[in-house]
């Protein structure tokens, strides 16, 4: 579904991505974990066409999308709930969802509200006045309005209370159950590795380690660095 | 008392003209964080285009306004292509509203405005062009003790209709929602698949169409069309935008009306040559006491 090979992104004099290889298969959840500043968001932005890759390939459903304008990539069925949420804070929840739907408008609304019933009660409220958790839900809901086949999630649990984090992770699992593929970037490695099929660890602009999520979760080195101590086998 | 009332009506129609011009400034500032210095010339081009259409076909007023609307829209597309898009080569979200972009487009729009003014002078000369008498919007209307001209009414009604149409576009159409989305969060707009370049072009289309119509309305009202006619309303509209909080449309419209009415009423107290200073006084007061605009505060300042 998504195949990334040798992806490089250069910003000014800085090479931020230095040859990233990563694949997401149909119906898979792939998690990317890593310390702050290793380039996870840069990777996500490059995939969505917000940053222009300096080298390498990004193939989505067989076609090379590296360097395409972001709106063309979205139109192909690849949506993202980006870091920082980037919702339209001075517009209503409904308008955010309409914009998310693009040419489909609100056609997907019932299915999306079934996942996020809370948003249904806030449709005419200003998005900026939603709570942090609600904003995160809106951000994911907005991305789903476009009926993507691949969903990119950049730190969906950031800044949320533990209970809400669990809800978000459950949601991600149920979104996958509906047939979407998901590429998930997370600081919360424990939760991410639990729901992911495969995972990759990023270090210094490269994939340092990749494999089945369960294997990585059991890996001693990963456990010490990203899970905050040992995991019981 | 009657004189006050009469000046109030005149001020409202004048204010509506400023509002039409201010909307272009406001919309463009919203999506790009820049002041489009060629906006006054769009107004002038609207007036001359109207003059040309009148000379060639002498259509009824409604058709004339539609023709000018179309010319304004095309002018907007051209203006964006020539003075703004060339500086937007980078796709990175940080550069869309960057300082370098702001300074570059400031110069390029200023340059284009000079070229446009000189081109008009080359073609039509620098003297006043007079509007055929029968098209002049100065038929007196008697409302009890108050006498105004039909131009006051026509300007007010036309401008009001355009404001309502704008409201519809911005809240009900995909183009309008995209304009507001880019204005609110350009990066977010890219993530939902908004074509940002096309949306910016549409913003110029909408803003310039309204500015051009304002130009021909005023041309028909005063009966004089000349190359630098866009300067004064440009300044007033700019002040209205700043007073209104830079990217708030309701704010700009209300402030434009305030300026128009204040100007018209000022002639009661001072000689009309001082009228031009009213807007500057408002600007100074705003900058000192309301640095984020009277209705502003939503957005950072230039
Ligand atoms: N537009 C840019 N210009 C210059 N440097 C950038 C730009 N975008 C990202 N960087 C740099 O690239 C590096 C990686 O940033 P990135 O946002 O991808 O990290 P991240 O892995 O997502 O970190 P976090 O976990 O904190 O979100 C950082 O050092 C950052 O400063
Ligand atoms: Mg990040």
Dihedral, CA of residue A46, residue A49, residue A54 and residue A57, to nearest 10:
80
**Rounded CA Rg of chain B:** 19
**Quick check: B91 and A71 CB within 8 A?**
no
Give DSSP secondary structure letters for A86-132: ---TTSBHHHHHHHHHGGGTTTTHHHHHHH-HHHHTTTTSBGGGS-H
The pLDDT, as a whole number, for residue B104 is: 86
C-beta of residue A10 within 8 angstroms of C-beta of residue A192: no
User: Is residue B269 one of the residues assigned to a domain?
Assistant: no
3-state class of A213 per DSSP?
Answer: helix
Q: State the Cα–Cα distance between residues B80 and B100, nearest whole angstrom.
A: 17
Give the other-Cβ count within 10 Å of B228's Cβ: 14
**Quick check: B188 and A88 CB within 8 A?**
yes
Residue of A35, A37, A44, A80 to test ligand 1 pocket, by largest number of atoms within 8 Å of CB: A37
The pLDDT, as a whole number, for residue B17 is: 95
At A80, phi and psi to the nearest 5?
A: -135, 140
A205 lines ligand 1 (CB under 6 A): no
Q: How far is the CA of B41 from the centre of ligand 2 (A)?
A: 45
CA angle A126, A130, A133 (to 5 degrees): 150
User: Is residue B234 one of the residues assigned to a domain?
Assistant: no
Q: State the Cα–Cα distance between residues A2 and A4, nearest whole angstrom.
A: 7
A136–B contact, CB cutoff 8 A: no
The pLDDT, as a whole number, for residue B3 is: 82
Q: Does residue A189 surpass a pLDDT of 90?
A: no
User: Is residue B278 one of the residues assigned to a domain?
Assistant: no
User: Is residue B258 one of the residues assigned to a domain?
Assistant: no
The pLDDT, as a whole number, for residue B302 is: 28
Would you place residue A229 in the very low, low, confident or very high pLDDT band (cuts 50, 70, 90)?
low
b/e sequence B196-223, b meaning 16+ C-beta within 10 Å: bbebbbbbbbbbbbbbbbbbbbbbbbeb
Q: Does residue A233 surpass a pLDDT of 70?
A: no
Give DSSP secondary structure letters for B237-289: HHHHHHHHTSS-HHHHHHHHHHHHHHHHHHHHHS-GGGGGHHHHHHHHHHHHH
Q: Does residue A20 surpass a pLDDT of 70?
A: yes
User: Is residue B286 one of the residues assigned to a domain?
Assistant: no
**pTM to 2 decimal places:** 0.92
Q: How many CA atoms lie within 13 A of B94 on its CB side?
A: 4
Give the other-Cβ count within 10 Å of A13's Cβ: 5
The pLDDT, as a whole number, for residue A232 is: 45
The pLDDT, as a whole number, for residue B294 is: 73
- Among B178, B190, B195, whose Cβ lies nearest the Cβ of A50? B190
Q: Does residue A197 surpass a pLDDT of 90?
A: yes
Tokens of A148: 């993507």
Q: State the Cα–Cα distance between residues A79 and A151, nearest whole angstrom.
A: 5
The pLDDT, as a whole number, for residue B301 is: 33
DSSP A79: E
DSSP B148: E
C-beta of residue B236 within 8 angstroms of C-beta of residue B16: no
Residues of chain B with pLDDT under 50: 298-302
Q: Chain B residue closest to A99 (CA)?
A: B192
Residue range A119-167, pLDDT digits in tens: 999 999 999 999 999 999 999 999 999 999 999 999 998 888 888 899 8
The pLDDT, as a whole number, for residue B290 is: 79
Spatial CB neighbours of A181, under 8 Å, sequence gap ≥ 6: A1, A2, A24, A25, A26, A27, A28, A29, A149, A150, A151
Q: State the Cα–Cα distance between residues B20 and B26, nearest whole angstrom.
A: 10
User: Is residue B191 one of the residues assigned to a domain?
Assistant: yes
User: Is residue B206 one of the residues assigned to a domain?
Assistant: yes
A37 lines ligand 1 (CB under 6 A): yes
User: Is residue B41 one of the residues assigned to a domain?
Assistant: yes
A78–B contact, CB cutoff 8 A: no
**Quick check: B92 and A51 CB within 8 A?**
yes
Return the ligand 1 atom nearest residue A155 CA. 27
Beta pairing partners, A59: A3, A64
Tokens of A146: 């476009």
The beta strands (E) that lie in B34-166 are given as 129-130, 140-143, 146-149
Min Cα separation B160/chain A (Å): 24
- Among A48, A87, A99, whose Cβ lies nearest the Cβ of B177? A99
Which residue range(s) make up the domain with B141? 22-229
**Quick check: A143 and B195 CB within 8 A?**
no
Most A CBs within 10 A among B174, B179, B193, hence the mutation to make, goes to: B193
Q: State the Cα–Cα distance between residues A118 and A112, nearest whole angstrom.
A: 11
Q: Chain B residue closest to A42 (CA)?
A: B92
- Among A86, A102, A143, whose Cβ lies nearest the Cβ of B187? A86
Q: How far is the CA of A41 from the centre of ligand 1 (A)?
A: 7
Burial class for B230, CB neighbours closer than 10 Å (0-12, 13-18, 19+): buried
What average pLDDT does the segment A77-86 reach?
Answer: 96
Beta pairing partners, A151: A79, A182
Q: How far is the CA of A201 from the centre of ligand 1 (A)?
A: 16
C-beta of residue A40 within 8 angstroms of C-beta of residue A189: no
What average pLDDT does the segment A98-104 reach?
Answer: 95
Q: How many domains does chain B have?
A: 1
Q: For each of the domains in chain A, give its residue range(s) and CATH number, in order of start.
A: 1-77+149-233 (3.40.50.300), 87-147 (no CATH)
CB-CB neighbors (< 8 A) of A100 in chain B: 192
Residue range B133-161, pLDDT digits in tens: 788 888 888 888 888 888 999 999 999 99
The pLDDT, as a whole number, for residue B93 is: 53
**How much is the ipTM here?**
0.93
CB-CB neighbors (< 8 A) of B184 in chain A: 88-91
Q: State the Cα–Cα distance between residues A178 and A186, nearest whole angstrom.
A: 21
A26–B contact, CB cutoff 8 A: no
Q: How many CA atoms lie within 13 A of B88 on its CB side?
A: 19
Helix then strand then coil, % of chain B, to nearest 5: 75, 5, 20
At B216, phi and psi to the nearest 5?
A: -70, -35
The pLDDT, as a whole number, for residue B75 is: 97
């Amino acid at each position: 579904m998504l195949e990334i090979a040798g992806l490089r992104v250069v910003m000014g004099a800085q090479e931020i991505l230095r040859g990233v290889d990563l694949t997401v298969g149909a119906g898979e959840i792939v998690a990317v974990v890593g310390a702050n500043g290793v380039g996870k968001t840069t990777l996500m932005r490059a995939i969505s066409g917000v940053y222009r890759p300096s080298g390498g390939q990004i193939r989505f459903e067989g076609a090379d999308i590296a360097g395409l304008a972001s709106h063309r990539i979205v139109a192909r069925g690849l949506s993202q709930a980006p870091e920082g949420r980037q919702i339209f804070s001075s517009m209503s929840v409904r308008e955010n969802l309409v914009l998310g739907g693009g040419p489909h408008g609100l056609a997907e609304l019932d299915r999306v509200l079934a996942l996020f019933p809370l948003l249904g009660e806030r449709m005419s409220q200003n998005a900026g006045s939603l709570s942090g958790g609600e904003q995160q839900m809106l951000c994911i809901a907005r991305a789903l309005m476009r009926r993507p086949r691949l969903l990119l999630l950049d730190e969906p649990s950031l800044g949320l209370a533990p209970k809400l984090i669990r809800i978000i992770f459950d949601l991600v699992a149920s979104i996958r159950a509906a047939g979407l593929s998901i590429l998930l970037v997370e600081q919360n490695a424990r939760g991410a590795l639990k729901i992911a099929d495969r995972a990759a660890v990023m270090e210094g602009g490269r994939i340092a380690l990749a494999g089945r999520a369960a294997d990585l979760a059991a890996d001693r080195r990963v456990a010490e660095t990203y899970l905050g101590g040992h995991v019981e086998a | 008392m009657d004189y006050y009332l009469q000046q109030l009506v005149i001020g409202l129609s004048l204010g509506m003209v400023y509002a039409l011009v201010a909307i272009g400034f406001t919309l463009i500032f919203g999506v790009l964080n820049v002041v489009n210095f060629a906006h006054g010339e769009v107004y002038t081009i609207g007036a001359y285009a109207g003059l040309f259409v009148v000379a060639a076909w002498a259509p009824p007023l409604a058709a004339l306004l539609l023709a000018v609307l179309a010319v304004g829209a095309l002018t907007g597309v051209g203006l964006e292509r020539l003075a703004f898009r060339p500086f937007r080569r980078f796709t990175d979200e940080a550069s869309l509203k960057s300082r370098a972009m702001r300074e570059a487009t400031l110069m390029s729009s200023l340059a284009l405005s000079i070229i446009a003014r000189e081109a008009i002078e080359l073609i039509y000369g620098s003297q006043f062009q007079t509007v055929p008498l029968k098209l002049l919007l100065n038929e007196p209307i008697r409302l009890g003790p108050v006498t105004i001209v039909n131009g006051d009414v026509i300007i007010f009604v036309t401008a009001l209709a355009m404001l309502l149409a704008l409201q519809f576009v911005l809240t009900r159409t995909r183009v309008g929602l995209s304009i507001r989305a880019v204005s609110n969060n350009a990066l977010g707009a890219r993530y939902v698949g908004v074509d940002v370049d096309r949306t910016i072009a549409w913003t110029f289309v909408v803003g310039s169409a309204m500015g051009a119509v304002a130009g021909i309305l005023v041309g028909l009202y005063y009966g004089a069309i000349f190359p630098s006619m866009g300067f004064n309303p440009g300044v007033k509209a700019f002040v209205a935008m700043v007073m209104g909080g830079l990217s708030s449309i309701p704010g700009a419209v209300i402030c434009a009306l305030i300026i128009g009415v204040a100007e018209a009423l000022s002639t009661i107290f001072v000689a009309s040559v001082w009228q031009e200073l009213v807007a500057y006084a408002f600007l100074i007061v705003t900058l000192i006491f309301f640095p984020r605009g009277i209705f502003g505060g939503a957005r950072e300042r230039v």
